[in-house]
Structure 1
């Protein structure tokens, strides 16, 4: 079917209109918006909202979206659909006042047929209610039509679906299978010509005799000298499929795909195109920071490129099906994907979450997820769910088998797993050792407290205690039926099970589906040295909205998981402004991708003070030697490295050599009195220098340094540019200690989509044009306007000269 982006000329207004208000002239006017659009991020945060820190204190509301459009007379005789890739939280759709359908799951797409109620040659009103409730999500979900919308049209015959499968890869060629469905909506059978064109393959054509309704077809295609898709070489192909009646083209589809094969076993792990690949994974939520859940391709690509540059090669879409824009970005950047069905099944984790609808809609949700993913080579694993409470119960076993079988029937080419939480699996029998924590978890679940109670218990557990629990006979007994239902045993925070699984079951494959960030030093050698362990996914790769405070060090305050004004989780390797945090460099070293030392300095102003530690929190440290006002005060310097020893010097004075890894993996620590100047670490391997890291004290801030991602922005309201503004001294060195307020002004062919810092407890709105810098940085996200032109972005701050950059907004096809 012909696909046309249907994102322009919508309006949005809060609430659901009372039908009586129209009678008495009380209906509010909507605000013009271009989709995708997250309405929640524009709300004022409320310390008293029911969802609290789970949603970053953003209140959940309902919104009405409306689009008025003309249906030309030429549309008569054609089938007209609208595809919504995602409406949060629940959707109801109307055309010209007629109810068309509802949809219960905000993370899956749906298609609505407009044909029967269109008014040809007249204006039509398409209305979508985006219905929201408090305590419907354990994280910031966003609200509204937050993914793309497409208009789909087909004439007398059209192609409704195409799936491309790599069957074999041989020396010099690859064999593909193209499966499709064509619809004949004329009054009688129709003979048409199918033409297929793929780069590297001979053009193919065949005659199809289409019965009334839907018809299937398939064809094998040989591609010569194929460029294989992999994380290192993410080559994408296009399959141009056309239907002709005589010389008249009836329809065309051009799905993208990659040529690659997958293999899995316990002796060689996961293989892509015959080569073993370890999953260097990051769990991520679906928001894009200061722009909320507005799901644009450039936002997803920006995140994926930052993750890949930090050493990751895989993501887990936690805990819901990934959006099409994210999968496209993963295809293009070369990021492998574990796509996940849901965060709950039939036992809700919040009073109004998808658990209330799961029994009725899970089969549709699973089918939609797999259909969406099929042509994306980046997707290698399907997760049936995350930390499912009923996973160890009789009904849970049966449901798990049913979900797995459903997925495998639709897509037998990929593998299944499940993110299992051991504490939940045995929550009714933890015993006296964990009786108190168990009761708190049960009470919190009954109260609908969502993530806070479980995260508090998990984060407080020391690794030794967790390891002992992970290998308990009771847990093994409870998990066995569900683990046996999937291709890969997925364990959340159960690292100690990885090696023994191979002793119990030599053919079982294991993945760390979720693990603590600082655990990577002891965890990665297990992945690296055991073929049956195919990878690890840290919580989390990129900071996110909601689950506020899980990673924030609160000094002198006792809190299970943050308090207002906490907004972010703050446990990501990469912060909200795309800056890598020290734990990211620890991970890169553990992965074997960095061989130079890295210095992380505990902030002297808080050194020695107690904070609410948990296993998601790494050292409260910075890659900085600039702490004005802290001269002479003690602090701790961590040197991260993969060498034998390191030597630290302060202003040329050696502080001695220390062995790496004596206390913590890849780490040596020094007690140092802060003195401005230079801090230098030199690594030694076999008693020879093998790399160094140097920090110098920055001078007073003298300028704003601007860095642009995407100087050329797509017009049509779909393009984004990310512009970082750093406070630097006269030599251009970043001063991470300066927090002065920065103002941004946007003029011309673009608009400010979001502006903010990585401060996890900031109080301002991301819609404001002023923001205090955090660690010397703020970031503006600029959205291209509808028309081509130039967009000027200007940053200013007290005592500093304005700095401007000019972006080009250009008309072009959607990426």
Structure 2
């Protein structure tokens, strides 16, 4: 089938509108938008929305989209389909006024057969109603509307149907790869056709490998053709070298090309066993993973290809090699980006089964919809080299019950029946699984819980800290005892046995125990606390059957607002405090800035040999703040603290070397132990003095690396960096502009704040502008934002005409220092 981009020139209206004519009667106009489009991010945040902090105080709503398009007369005998990759939440698709499809799951791609409703040789109207008005349906920022792309498919009577090509790597090593290409061939005509099916694989060096077979396609028949291609010295796909082949399948009748389909495909073979762990192409791999939500910060949930690619690149550059799609099926653009960048993916089915986590969540529909959800998910994922795991759920409430174990087995089996090449897991949280049985465990472990609380200086169990008291069961000494408790073994046992990989959320103390209980199984930390990485990675490295971990989380996100905000005003986390907007627990913040925990993690992974300096915010020294197990430290890589000269400062030096030394303006402040035996951290307390702060690391008395921070001069300038040199005139391409404050020498100034203005002219628009402040009040539609920790971020979207887009940036009150960047649009 021929695929066409169908994202341009949609008409958008907030609320339900029967037709554009009705809108005109009332003297109103629709807004023209190019998909993907997140309607929620353009709403005014509301302190009183029922969604509260779950969506960052963005309200839900109902939205209507229209699109008119001409249908040629010769389409009358053809197959015409629309694919919606994601509409949140419930979608109703009308063609010329007739309801053609209803889809209830906001994260599942779906298809609409529209041929029977079309008027051939005329203009036709599509109307999509996106209903996200039932608030409290998501625990995170969901977005609203048609937030992923839409495609139009047109097929001849003889065709490769949608998802009709499956590519499987049968063998793969450095010498030989064998790839099987299975193609469905559909003949909807009433005559027999003599067909030739040609399958080709083309590598990055334009070497082509080909196979052809002949098929008699009888009238009104469907056949499957299997073709094997052997490749000598293949270019294999893995995290370090994500090589992609172009697979093209063509159907000919004589010399006439009837249909073709081209797919990017990475040749790789994954294997799993309890003795050798996870291997890709025969090489062992530990999963350095992160969970991520699907939004893109200032852009909301709109799944632009460039936004997905940028996020994946930043995550990969920070040392991660794998991503868990939390907690829903990943979008196609995201999987394409992971294929290109070289990130492994755990694709997740859902956040709930039959027990609600929100008043209006998908538990209402799960049993009716799960089979179709799994089918669509496997069809979407099958040809993506990046996808290695299917997760059937996240912290499912009923997982520890007999019925929950039955459902878990049903779901894992459903995936295995459709795709035997990948592995299944489930992110099990023992607190959910234990249910009421958790209370006798808490009573038994109360002394350890109090002991751990005293270590961090809090015994407050009121308000949201009551939640944290439960979470104390999942960290520290009490956490390990809880994880290994016989009651937890009892409730997890049956579900653990029916999945390929035992997935554990916040149960580090159980990873090695599972190896004793299930010696033929592998174990994975499907969700873990960020600050637990040093201890956890020791466990990962101690056993082949422990595959790795997925931290919560590698990239900050909208919603679950305040989970990791450092409150110095007495507030507690998880309290849903307006104007909190983001979770603020990402290794990377919304502007793309790597926070110190990111470099700490990179050192623990063994990927960075140089030390790293992190400074606890000097302006917050001695102040009490809130703390949850998801929070690391309120520190930053800055030695610019104007007005705090002579005031005390706490400095951490992260290093994998056993010893580090700290220098201030050339004076040694002494050496301290670091490395694995001391949590990779040496802490120094000193008085702030402007100048140069420098750390050196030592192994066996020999220096192994240095890192330094300098104080920025008082003159504040703005540095602007674009991540693209040109844009394509398709209405969807994005260029991200990172702005940071510095002095004339380029030394970053993360302490000062400045309001930044941006102006766009030419063939492009400002798609979004903002910063990483978790408590900001401005709209991402605004053209003026204040920096946060020295940074701001803008996204410029190309128009659909060739030319150039000019971006002018300046600091408020410094118009004479305007900077202009011109980006060609080709």
TM interval, short-chain normalised: over 0.9
1:3 alignment counterpart: 3
2:67 alignment counterpart: 67
2:198 alignment counterpart: 195
* Cα 1:674–1:170 shift into 2, 3 Å: closer
1:577 alignment counterpart: 591
Deviations 1:729-762 (A, max 9, x none): 1211111011110011111111111100111111
1:441 alignment counterpart: none
Q: Is 1:522 equivalent to 2:535 in the alignment?
A: yes
Deviates more, 1:217-226 or 1:634-643: 217-226
1:147 alignment counterpart: 148
1:442 alignment counterpart: none
2:697 alignment counterpart: 683
Residues in 2 aligned to 1:327 and 1:533: alpha-carbon distance in whole angstroms: 25
TM-score w.r.t. the length of structure 1 is: 0.95
SS of 2:558 mapped into structure 1: coil
Q: Is 1:484 equivalent to 2:487 in the alignment?
A: no
Q: Is 1:782 equivalent to 2:789 in the alignment?
A: no
Deviates more, 1:642-651 or 1:56-65: 642-651
Corresponding residue to 1:596 among 603, 610, 613: 610
Deviations 1:487-528 (A, max 9, x none): 101100000011122222222200100000111111111112
* Cα 1:455–1:388 shift into 2, 3 Å: farther
1:807 alignment counterpart: 823
* Cα 1:593–1:20 shift into 2, 3 Å: closer
Deviations 1:673-704 (A, max 9, x none): 11111211111111222111111111124321
Q: Is 1:17 equivalent to 2:23 in the alignment?
A: no
Q: CA deviation at 1:261?
A: 0.5
1:179 alignment counterpart: 182
Native 8 Å contact 2:210 2:229 kept in 1 = no
Residues in 2 aligned to 1:231 and 1:730: alpha-carbon distance in whole angstroms: 39
2:157 alignment counterpart: 156
Residues in 2 aligned to 1:40 and 1:104: alpha-carbon distance in whole angstroms: 18
Q: CA deviation at 1:460?
A: 8.3
Deviations 1:214-243 (A, max 9, x none): 332211122232100000110111111111
TM-score w.r.t. the length of structure 2 is: 0.94
* Cα 1:668–1:271 shift into 2, 3 Å: same
Residues in 1 aligned to 2:20 and 2:239: alpha-carbon distance in whole angstroms: 56
Corresponding residue to 2:257 among 230, 249, 258: 249
Residues in 1 aligned to 2:469 and 2:819: alpha-carbon distance in whole angstroms: 44
Q: Is 1:722 equivalent to 2:723 in the alignment?
A: no
Residues in 1 aligned to 2:23 and 2:781: alpha-carbon distance in whole angstroms: 34
Q: CA deviation at 1:213?
A: 4.4
Deviates more, 1:650-659 or 1:767-776: 650-659
Q: CA deviation at 1:347?
A: 0.7
Q: CA deviation at 1:189?
A: 3.4
2:457 alignment counterpart: none
Residues in 2 aligned to 1:808 and 1:241: alpha-carbon distance in whole angstroms: 35
1:445 alignment counterpart: none
* Cα 1:219–1:453 shift into 2, 3 Å: farther
Q: CA deviation at 1:437?
A: 13
Corresponding residue to 1:209 among 196, 216, 221: 216
Q: CA deviation at 1:257?
A: 1.0
Native 8 Å contact 1:201 1:221 kept in 2 = no
Native 8 Å contact 2:139 2:560 kept in 1 = yes
SS of 1:746 mapped into structure 2: strand
Residues in 2 aligned to 1:489 and 1:575: alpha-carbon distance in whole angstroms: 30
SS of 1:167 mapped into structure 2: strand
SS of 1:712 mapped into structure 2: coil
SS of 2:61 mapped into structure 1: coil
Deviations 1:12-48 (A, max 9, x none): 1111126899399348432100001101000111111
Residues in 2 aligned to 1:711 and 1:600: alpha-carbon distance in whole angstroms: 33
| Aligned 1:239-318 pairs, distance under 5 A | 239-318=247-326
Residues in 2 aligned to 1:270 and 1:162: alpha-carbon distance in whole angstroms: 27
2:483 alignment counterpart: 470
Q: Which runs of 5+ in 1 are unaligned?
A: 439-450, 811-815
Q: CA deviation at 1:455?
A: 7.1
SS of 1:521 mapped into structure 2: helix
Deviates more, 1:189-198 or 1:248-257: 189-198
Deviations 1:247-299 (A, max 9, x none): 22111101121111011011111000000001100100000110011101111
1:653 alignment counterpart: 667
2:571 alignment counterpart: 558
Residues in 2 aligned to 1:384 and 1:566: alpha-carbon distance in whole angstroms: 31
* Cα 1:463–1:37 shift into 2, 3 Å: same
1:369 alignment counterpart: 377
Residues in 1 aligned to 2:241 and 2:703: alpha-carbon distance in whole angstroms: 34
SS of 1:417 mapped into structure 2: strand
* Cα 1:207–1:483 shift into 2, 3 Å: same
* Cα 1:459–1:772 shift into 2, 3 Å: farther
Deviates more, 1:184-193 or 1:327-336: 184-193
Q: Is 1:500 equivalent to 2:501 in the alignment?
A: no
| Aligned 1:334-349 pairs, distance under 5 A | 334-349=342-357
Residues in 2 aligned to 1:169 and 1:286: alpha-carbon distance in whole angstroms: 32
Q: CA deviation at 1:191?
A: 2.6
2:458 alignment counterpart: none
* Cα 1:21–1:191 shift into 2, 3 Å: closer
Corresponding residue to 1:605 among 615, 619, 626: 619
SS of 2:479 mapped into structure 1: helix
Residues in 1 aligned to 2:277 and 2:515: alpha-carbon distance in whole angstroms: 12
Native 8 Å contact 1:320 1:339 kept in 2 = yes
Deviations 1:421-448 (A, max 9, x none): 010000211124647999xxxxxxxxxx
Residues in 2 aligned to 1:202 and 1:691: alpha-carbon distance in whole angstroms: 47
Residues in 1 aligned to 2:62 and 2:122: alpha-carbon distance in whole angstroms: 29
Residues in 2 aligned to 1:409 and 1:455: alpha-carbon distance in whole angstroms: 40
SS of 1:786 mapped into structure 2: coil
Native 8 Å contact 2:656 2:676 kept in 1 = no
Q: CA deviation at 1:660?
A: 1.2
SS of 1:675 mapped into structure 2: coil
Residues in 2 aligned to 1:80 and 1:598: alpha-carbon distance in whole angstroms: 57
Residues in 2 aligned to 1:142 and 1:601: alpha-carbon distance in whole angstroms: 35
SS of 2:707 mapped into structure 1: strand
| Aligned 1:367-446 pairs, distance under 5 A | 367-432=375-440, 434=442
Native 8 Å contact 2:760 2:808 kept in 1 = yes
Native 8 Å contact 1:201 1:222 kept in 2 = no
Native 8 Å contact 1:553 1:611 kept in 2 = yes
Corresponding residue to 2:582 among 568, 581, 585: 568
SS of 2:650 mapped into structure 1: strand
Native 8 Å contact 1:422 1:470 kept in 2 = yes
Deviates more, 1:476-485 or 1:658-667: 658-667
Q: CA deviation at 1:473?
A: 0.2
**RMSD, matched Cα:** 2.0
* Cα 1:808–1:639 shift into 2, 3 Å: same
SS of 2:399 mapped into structure 1: helix
Residues in 2 aligned to 1:501 and 1:461: alpha-carbon distance in whole angstroms: 16
Native 8 Å contact 1:725 1:795 kept in 2 = no
Residues in 2 aligned to 1:612 and 1:690: alpha-carbon distance in whole angstroms: 37
2:460 alignment counterpart: none
Residues in 1 aligned to 2:360 and 2:812: alpha-carbon distance in whole angstroms: 46
Native 8 Å contact 1:295 1:325 kept in 2 = yes
2:560 alignment counterpart: 547
Residues in 2 aligned to 1:169 and 1:754: alpha-carbon distance in whole angstroms: 44
1:167 alignment counterpart: 170
SS of 1:254 mapped into structure 2: strand
1:92 alignment counterpart: 92
1:732 alignment counterpart: 746
Corresponding residue to 2:713 among 699, 705, 709: 699
